[in-house]
Structure 1
Amino acid sequence: MSASPPEDLVKHWESEQERLRQQVVEDDTEDWQRRPDFLGLQRVGGVDLSFIKGDEVNACAQLVVLSYPDLELLYEDSQMVALTAPYIAGFLAFRETPFLLEALQRLKLTRPELMPQVVFVDGNGLFHYREFGLACHLGVLSGIPSVGVAKNLLQVQGVYKNEEHQSQIAVLQTGGESFPLISASGKVLGKALRSCDKSSKPVYVSVGHRISLDTAVRLTHSCCRYRVPEPIRQADVRSREYLRVHFPATQT
């Protein structure tokens, strides 16, 4: 948006993020998280929003639930939504979370047996300006363990895409290898993960809610057939396909 965001709105959102940040649990809370090969984990969710080309308001909010460990589709929900909150860097969750929550609530009402035991979010969790990104927001409000997986590095809190960062990426030789993303204060905010052997470009994993970072990284790797974990990849593919079918004139 070209206009400066209203100062009172930014302050309100900052306050809300700080309030909800206090509720984030950065530890493993589920038995399956502690078991070898995540025994007991049967359903993994993925969420994403895809926008009509050239339109910053109308989007397809997508939820998928896949089986684990087979990663086969169990459920999908594609819903056109109109975003009402403005885009302000660092506050993406206030635009997107309400619609992703609605998708989870629809699933709970119609097919509760298919509710995911963990949700992968296309975005960041604790690796964020105020340590409360989209994955944290959705995790806290839904109560479901959540993992943030970003395709691009958010340059924040002293973490930069510089020569040192590139040299660390070069050291990652095989899928599953990672290195920590450390803030200027020394706190580990997430990890850069080589998610599969096929891709040398990492993804950036951070805690959303009710899972530890090490578990989040191992789980992300286990869900990757390609660079992006399958729940997020399927949510992206299916939301884009929905737009291609229903709004063909707007897609390239």
Structure 2
Amino acid sequence: MSILPQEELVKKWESEQASLRQQVVEEDTEDWQRCHDFTGLERVGGVDLSFIKGDDVNACAQLVVLSYPDLELLYEDSQMVTLTAPYISGFLAFRETPYLLEALQRLETTQPSLLPQVVLVDGNGLFHYREFGLACHLGVLSGLPCIGVAKNLLQVQGVEKNEEHQSQIASLQKGGESFPLTSDSGKVLGKALRSSDSSTKPVYVSVGHKISLDTALRLTHSCCRYRVPEPIRQADMRSREYLRVHFPTAADT
């Protein structure tokens, strides 16, 4: 992929995104999603990539599976990978998805009983330039329900980090409260969630695949002990620790 000139690569990726976008399911598909307390949900996954400082090619791809609702570790997979696709804004998924998908496939092959019923992704879903972020990409290719949970606001489709946005954040009084991220066209692409009483900085939740926004929001909040939901927090911590142990002279980013 990376041997194509960037302009051609962008066109190719835009076409692939548009095609895969048609497969995204933006509603609840599982029985547990329709239960107020998520009865039947037992395994929640989290994925993340951590890079060696100063190196944007070699990374640790991390998958964790936690029990639900206790959020105790059931499975973890840390794998060093070499990213082959270039970084182009709006196309992060083409760099990262293959390695996260491989982690899920390894688990399905070796211990299928531990395969997560939903995956929380450190990144965006429908809240994206073309409504097809990393969580959508991974969801469609894996067939699993996925939720995008971003730590920083992606300024797209008229959503901006302006005074109005800051005012909306300030209006969130307690954990679980949220406000919509509405595009210029009027479509709600995601929601800003105050994930805990102690955290005033929100996370940004959007649909990845096979789940509704309201359910994604409730589940994300229920997985939060701190600001970042536990599956993603554990994936991030464990991938960074892996780099610290195996590359002690190069601090992770």
Deviation at 1:152, TM superposition (A): 0.3
Moved over 6 A (4+): none
Report 1:32-111 matches (<5 A).
32-111=32-111
- Aligned residue for 2:171? 171
Aligned length, in residue pairs: 249
Residue 36 of structure 1 deviates from its aligned partner by 2.0
- Give 1:145's aligned amino acid: P
Q: RMSD between aligned alpha carbons?
A: 1.0
Shift of 1:251: 1.0
- In the alignment, what sits opposite 2:214? 214
Deviation at 1:22, TM superposition (A): 0.1
* 2:156 maps to 1:161: no
> Can you list the C-alpha shifts for 1:168-216, whole angstroms capped at 9, x where unaligned?
0001000000000000000000000000001000000000000000000
Give unpaired runs (5+ residues) of structure 1. none
Following the alignment from structure 1 to structure 2, what is the Cα–Cα distance between the partners of residues 168 and 53? 35
CA distance in 2, matches of 1:197, 1:248: 36
The one-character-per-residue Cα deviations of 1:41-92 (angstroms, maximum 9, x if unpaired) are: 0000000000011001000000000000000000000000000000000000
Query: Could you tell me which amino acid in structure 1 is paired with residue 137 of structure 2?
Result: H
The one-letter code of the counterpart of 2:134 is L
Question: Which ranges of structure 2 fall in alignment gaps of 5 or more residues?
Answer: none
CA distance in 1, matches of 2:142, 2:204: 22
Equivalent in the alignment of 1:22: 22
Secondary structure in 1 matching 2:66: strand
Structure-1 separation of matches of 2:69 and 2:22: 32
Give the percent of matched residue pairs that are identical in Structure 1 and Structure 2.
85
Query: Is the partner of 1:60 in helix, strand or coil?
Result: strand
Residue in 1 that maps onto 2:142: 142
The SS at the match of 1:38 is coil
Question: Residue type of the partner of 1:165?
Answer: H
Aligned partners of 1:109, 1:24: CA distance in 2, in Å?
25
Structure-2 separation of matches of 1:201 and 1:39: 30
C-alpha separation in 1, matches of 2:236 and 2:218: 22
Measured after TM superposition, the shift of residue 6 of structure 1 is: 1.3
Distance in 1 (CA, whole Å) between partners of 2:82 and 2:61 is 10
